Amino acid sequence: MDPRTLKIKAAAEALTYVKDGMRLGIGTGSTAEEFVRLLAEKVAAGLDVIGVPTSERTAALCQELGVKLTTLEETPVLDLTIDGADEIGPELALIKGGGGALLREKIVAAASAQMVVIADESKNVDTLGRFPLPIEVNRFGLAATTIAIEKAASDLDLSGSITLRMTGGEAFVTDGGHLILDASFGRIPDTRALSSALHAIPGVVEHGLFLGLARVAILAGADGIRTRTQP
């Protein structure tokens, strides 16, 4: 089955979690975009929901397709966030941020009563870290922040390249105006320790480890849909 079909299947299953009147967090990325397309069809058929987009890109798609939007200022408590992921590990710990929206994605997920992750089976892993961990950093002090991240990683026996994300020959800039460092650690056995160590570095705005946020992962594979849950 081609990758897009799998994404659509996962997105369609996620729609069953959406109920009339819900306040939604709406994720970013190609899988989340399939969800927005299906959601827009339901909205056109009469479903009444309102959403907080996790990126300017998602906001633009929602506006184009007629999905009503709000902000966390107007609607600070959400019922459900649907979003993709780059990796889904034990206890539904995630790596996110491949699309560069990790800061807003984490804020929106944390403001939601439930987070449902949608992906194809290839994103399910035994240990997080094969996908480079996105770390959003302030522009100021980039070199010093990078050294501090290397030191924090080394203290946890993690090593690997840490590279500034580029796009079209220029540094990638997030919706919040920050930069992204992609850290290729290979394996991250202790995600909580790394999360705490990164949060302790002043130039780190946020990182792509999503711990204790996802409650459901909908995984689409050649054999059908599999749902993983985390109490």
Ligand X SMILES: O=C(CO)[C@H](O)[C@H](O)COP(=O)(O)O
Task: Give, as ranges, the residues between 51 and 90 that touch ligand X (CB under 6 A).
Answer: 83-86
Q: Is 129 in the site for ligand X (CB under 6 A)?
A: no
28-36, 150-158, 170-178, 194-202 -> range binding ligand X (CB under 6 A): 28-36
Q: Is 27 in the site for ligand X (CB under 6 A)?
A: yes
Q: Is 98 in the site for ligand X (CB under 6 A)?
A: yes
Q: Is 112 in the site for ligand X (CB under 6 A)?
A: no
Tokens found for residue 40: 């827009």
Residue tagged active-site, from 13, 34, 105, 136 = 105
Q: Is 179 in the site for ligand X (CB under 6 A)?
A: no
Answer left, alpha or beta for residue 160, where phi above 0 means left and psi between -120 and 50 means alpha: left
Q: Which of 101, 116, 179, 188 binds ligand X (CB under 6 A)?
A: 101
DSSP 3-state percent helix, strand, coil across the chain (nearest 5) = 35, 30, 40
Q: Is 30 annotated as a binding residue?
A: yes
Q: Is 13 a catalytic residue?
A: no
Size of interface with ligand X, in residues (CB under 6 A): 18
Q: Is 99 annotated as a binding residue?
A: yes
Identify the CA nearest to 185 among candidates 194, 177, 176. Answer: 194
C-beta closer to ligand X: residue 29 or 203: 29
Q: Is 31 in the site for ligand X (CB under 6 A)?
A: yes
- Is the CB of residue 65 less than 8 Å from the CB of residue 37? yes
- Write out the E strands in the chain: 23-26, 50-53, 78-83, 87-88, 94-95, 112-120, 133-137, 162-164, 166-167, 170-171, 179-183, 204-207, 209-210, 216-221, 224-229
**The dihedral sign for the CA sequence 141, 144, 146, 151:** negative
To the nearest whole angstrom, how small is the minimum distance from the Cβ of residue 146 to ligand X? 21
Distances (CA, A) of 99 to 54, 134, 162, 170: 11, 9, 17, 16
C-beta closer to ligand X: residue 134 or 203: 134
Q: Which of 25, 89, 100, 132 binds ligand X (CB under 6 A)?
A: 100
213: Cβ–Cβ under 8 A, 6 or more apart, which residues? 94, 106, 109, 110, 115
Q: Which of 4, 5, 30, 90 binds ligand X (CB under 6 A)?
A: 30
Catalytic residues: 105
Q: Residues forming the annotated binding site?
A: 28-31, 83-86, 96-99, 123
Binding residues for substrate: 28-31, 83-86, 96-99, 123
Using CB under 6 A as the criterion, which residues of the chain lie in contact with ligand X when the complex forms? 27-32, 83-86, 96-102, 105
